[in-house]
């Protein structure tokens, strides 16, 4: 894993993406630090990261789009498949390299509360818990981006899919509020989600039987539960959508609450999507 991590981190900076991402993030954090702390006169550092959350959601696809797709495009993934390094080590190394690039501007930003303390009282606990929560939120988004990058050999397609996923995660609470909480709406929502999952499985594994089975079982279970006991479905799809709102779980850190549930949520998203990526690569490796 260490070899893959160093190679991937070196490639980020040799290809300038690491420098561009770090410089842009530092510029964004600097501008919003001025706007929030000096122009608006607020001593709450967490409001800076609340303001740049959407910008970060748009930047992360640029960081993850080449993670796995570039290996497939150049056919260098065959070297990874035949190497003595395990698939877990490869994926975790690539994920940690992208996470390191994301963390670099945040490490620099850790000095900002100390510098701003010269101009007024700063709540360090609130400030650094917000930075830590922002780091975890970015890690969860990066894990999703790496997974989507493994689905295609085209960087632009990977970027577009990641942009769509980040935007959906960001707007998920709004979508949830727009949808009805009725049992029928939940049934339709879960059935559509099952079909989408089947399409993703087929596009990544080319296994029509498995993908079709997932789609049929998921949609059939939704319809069956609706016919048998519809009350169990009321509001369930809205709750599922809110659970997928990755960026909304940062809210507790913004309001000064170090929420362990959000920490567990972000770590779980990272572990799950790294696991999903490994399964896709393992399928491709032995096919």
pLDDT surpassing 90 at residue 69: no
Q: How many domains does the chain have?
A: 1
Residue 109 confidence (pLDDT): 93
Any domain includes 165: yes
Q: Provide long-range contacts, Cβ within 8 A and 24+ apart, for 181-186.
A: 181/234, 181/235, 181/238, 182/234, 183/226, 183/230, 183/231, 183/232, 183/233, 183/234, 184/226, 184/230, 185/237, 186/222, 186/226, 186/233, 186/234, 186/235, 186/236, 186/237, 186/238
Residue 15 confidence (pLDDT): 73
End-to-end CA gap in the chain = 23
- The Cα-based distances of 204 to 156, 253, 283 in angstroms read 17, 36, 9
Query: What confidence category does residue 266 fall into, taking pLDDT thresholds of 50, 70 and 90?
Result: very high
* More confident site: 140 or 118: 140
Any domain includes 112: yes
pLDDT surpassing 90 at residue 75: no
The whole-chain average pLDDT of the chain stands at 84
pLDDT surpassing 80 at residue 232: no
Residue 72 confidence (pLDDT): 67
Residue 285 confidence (pLDDT): 65
Any domain includes 186: no
Any domain includes 90: yes
> Tens digits of per-residue pLDDT, 77-135?
666 666 667 778 888 888 999 999 999 999 999 999 998 888 878 899 999 999 999 99
Any domain includes 182: no
Any domain includes 221: no
Q: Using a pLDDT cut of 90, give the percent of the chain over it.
A: 30
Any domain includes 235: no
* More confident site: 272 or 78: 272
Global pTM reads: 0.87
Mean pLDDT of 14-33: 89
Containing domain of residue 50, as a range?
Answer: 2-171+260-286
Any domain includes 111: yes
Residue 77 confidence (pLDDT): 61
């Amino acid at each position: 894993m260490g070899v893959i991590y160093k190679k991937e981190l070196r490639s980020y900076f040799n290809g300038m993406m690491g420098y561009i991402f770090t410089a842009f993030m530092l510029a964004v954090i600097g501008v919003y630090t001025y706007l929030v702390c000096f122009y608006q006169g607020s001593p709450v550092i967490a409001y800076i990261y609340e303001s740049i959350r959407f910008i970060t959601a748009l930047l992360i696809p640029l960081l993850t789009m080449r993670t796995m797709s570039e290996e497939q495009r150049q056919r260098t993934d065959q070297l990874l498949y035949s190497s003595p390094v395990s698939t877990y080590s490869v994926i975790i190394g690539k994920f940690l390299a992208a996470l390191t690039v994301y963390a670099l501007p945040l490490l620099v930003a850790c000095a900002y509360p100390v510098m701003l303390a010269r101009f007024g009282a700063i709540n360090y606990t609130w400030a650094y818990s917000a930075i830590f929560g922002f780091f975890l939120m970015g890690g969860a988004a990066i894990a999703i981006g790496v997974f989507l990058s493994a689905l295609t050999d085209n960087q632009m397609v990977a970027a577009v899919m990641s942009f769509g996923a980040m935007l959906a995660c960001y707007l998920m609470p709004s979508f949830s509020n727009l949808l009805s909480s009725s049992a029928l709406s939940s049934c339709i929502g879960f059935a559509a989600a099952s079909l989408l999952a089947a399409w993703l499985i087929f596009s990544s594994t080319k296994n029509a039987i498995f993908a079709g089975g997932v789609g049929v079982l998921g949609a059939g279970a939704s319809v069956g539960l609706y016919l048998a006991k519809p009350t169990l479905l009321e509001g369930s799809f809205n709750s599922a959508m809110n659970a997928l709102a990755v960026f909304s779980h940062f809210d507790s850190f913004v309001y000064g609450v170090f929420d362990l549930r959000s920490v567990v949520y972000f770590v779980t998203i990272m572990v799950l999507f790294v696991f999903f990526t490994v399964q896709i690569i393992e399928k491709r490796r032995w096919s």
